[in-house]
A and B are shown apart, each in its own frame.
Chain A
Amino acid sequence: DVKVTQSSRYLVKRTGEKVFLECVQDMDHENMFWYRQDPGLGLRLIYFSYDVKMKEKGDIPEGYSVSREKKERFSLILESASTNQTSMYLCASSANRRRFYGYTFGSGTRLTVV
């Protein structure tokens, strides 16, 4: 089974802090994605990446950046955390962009910004 591992299950950070959320997958997947999940809003795409050092903006990239220095690792960065970034963050990966086989999700990181 593909494993997608998010480094933290729960995080509490202060307003203005720089926050790093880490995601690692172990199946050599090309594609990796970051979503945030909020009640009543579903899953909204923040950023995604098809390859090392490559990134694409999703629907809500404002206030976020990403880093993919290695194929297996995709980091989400909150440059200056704000209370409206309190949310559940889900990382996902999929095999490649030539044919779609569906995502495997991580367990999520519940971030609270105080």
Chain B
Amino acid sequence: QQPVQSPQAVILREGEDAVINCSSSKALYSVHWYRQKHGEAPVFLMILLKGGEQKGHEKISASFNEKKQQSSLYLTASQLSYSGTYFCGTETVDRDDKIIFGKGTRLHILP
């Protein structure tokens, strides 16, 4: 089942923080995060495994709340380069080797 991302879109000024959520109705094993700029291939950000871990990538970090079946992506002190569409992909505990992606969250950073 497709995970739900929220918000669908967000506009920030450079330096502001943002949180993007990815929620599933099924028990999750892993959550994958990617960023894609218009006309370009996606860029891999990180994979989180169940266990409630938190990871960081530059000023971008993420958490995985196993109880809520939700992952949140945190963008701190956003930079212009953070603009793009963020996709989460989820794999359920069934470990069926299928990654289902959300519809994406469009992030636009203004100078």
The answer to whether A and B interact is: no
